[in-house]
Amino acid sequence: MSLQKFLSSLDELLDDAKQSLDEVGSSEQLENLRVRFVGAKNGAIKAVQKLMGAIESEHRPVAGKRFNEVRDAIQSALDLATERLGGASKAVKDPQMDPTLPGLRPQLGQLHPITQTIEHLKDIMGRLGFSVTEGPEIEDTWHNFVALNIPEDHPARDPLDNFYLAAASKQLQNPTDRDAMLLRSQTSTVQIRVMETQSLPLRIISLGRVYRPDAPDATHFPMFHQMEGLWVDKNVSMAQLKSVLRLFATSYLGSDVKVRFRPSFFPFTEPSVEVDYWWNGNWIEFGGAGMVDPNVFQALNIDPEQWSGFAFGLGVERLCMRRFGIVDIRDLYRSDVRFLRQFAS
């Protein structure tokens, strides 16, 4: 190809580009022109550039120089037109924007599975006549141990098994001190608070957090929830305790659930049992229960000859996990919404 012919095709291209870009009136047209002139694949500049290979080598420096000038001039004209149209519209510039796609649904929050479980348990127990009470998570040793008949040398009071709180002086308090404070290790504390303040008879449940310094694994977490129950009246019996826990289990887990009571020991109940539910081929321990120990009544100036009662404490996470098919307690507390979203209420 002759140099002359090459240069004149460059001039033609430049004239054409300038004229079209001067007249361009919309972003869409501008985008078409951009593709037509400087498009990386089939743009006119690209096409002219290819012709350069056919030019004799002695003329190539001149051809190349002019080619660069024309290319830059077209680019400037494009920039100018873009500016004149108020910047390329986003829709044209961003090929990922597809206005025909359906919109994104706004995400609604939902209750955490544990909160859902707590609501469900309150509902079932409410139908059995239990009203809901709350107690503080920061407790003193009187409510967490002493009044519950847990003596000073009992292993449950070991500082290694409890979150005792440092006093204002930042010194660890003496755990044998009746006023030493700790994060409650059980909701049984609420039994004491209720019997201190409410008149008998009473029938309450209390659901809330408890704390123990356990290393987290699939079934342990340093914070978990319990449902405490207490029924005090004249002539409350072990038979009633078993009926209530059985009714609760069938309401919550289904009519085919089996319940087993194993003799056990708790300082605040006598006799005491552990409660297992048969579920999906296994016996699973859900908590403890028993008849309120006369020592507990006496610590609160309640006459054990006149009053009797039963109490129970169940693990809320276990109930929740059984029902929702969750196998690792830590998943409940990772705050991963992708996990939690599965358990829509």
Interface with ligand DAH (CB under 6 A): 186, 188, 228, 266, 269, 287-290, 311-313
Give the span between the Cα atoms of 190 and 318, in whole angstroms: 21
Q: Which residues contact 67 (CB under 8 A, 6 or more apart)?
A: 10, 48, 49, 52
Tokens 């009633």, residue? Answer: 240
Other CB atoms within 10 A of residue 179 CB: 10
Distance CA 125, CA 245 (A): 10
CB nearer to ligand DAH: pick between 173 and 269: 269
**Shortest distance in whole angstroms from residue 279 CB to ligand DAH:** 19
Nearer to ligand DAH, 39 or 159 (CB): 159
Angle, in degrees to the nearest 10, between helices 60-84 and 44-51: 180
3-state helix, strand, coil in the chain (%, to 5): 45, 20, 35
Q: How distant is the alpha carbon of residue 119 from its chain centre?
A: 17
Edge-first strand listing for the sheet containing 131-132: 131-132, 202-211, 223-233, 308-315, 282-292, 269-279, 258-266
Closer Cβ to ligand DAH, 113 or 287, answer by number? 287
Among residues 29 and 264, whose Cβ is nearest to ligand DAH? 264
Tell me whether residue 180 or residue 273 sits nearer to ligand DAH (CB atom).
Answer: 273
CB of 176 to ligand DAH, least distance (A): 20
Q: How far is the CB of 170 from ligand DAH (least distance, A)?
A: 29
Q: What is the largest CA-CA distance in the chain?
A: 121
Examine residue 271 and say whether the peptide bond preceding it is cis (omega within 30 degrees of 0). Answer: yes
User: Which of 45, 192 has the CB closer to ligand DAH?
Assistant: 192
CB of 232 to ligand DAH, least distance (A): 12
CB of 161 to ligand DAH, least distance (A): 11
Query: What stretches of the chain show up as alpha helix (H) in DSSP?
Result: 3-23, 27-38, 44-51, 60-84, 90-93, 113-127, 141-144, 189-197, 238-253, 294-299, 316-324, 337-340
State the nearest-atom distance from the C-beta of 113 to ligand DAH, in Å: 21
Residue number, 266 or 279, with CB nearest to ligand DAH: 266
Cβ 333 to ligand DAH shortest distance, Å: 19
Query: Closest CB to ligand DAH among 67 and 261?
Result: 261
Task: Report in angstroms the alpha-carbon separations of 95 from 43, 75, 99, 278, 282.
Answer: 18, 21, 11, 58, 57
Based on its alpha-carbon atoms, the radius of gyration of the chain, rounded to whole angstroms, reads: 39
Q: Which is nearer to ligand DAH, 31 or 317 (CB)?
A: 317
CA distances from 283 to 50, 150, 243, 246, 280 (A): 80, 28, 19, 14, 9
Min dist. Cβ of residue 236 to ligand DAH (A): 13
Task: Give the dihedral sign, CA 224/225/231/232.
Answer: positive
- Nearest distance from residue 184's CB to ligand DAH, in Å? 10
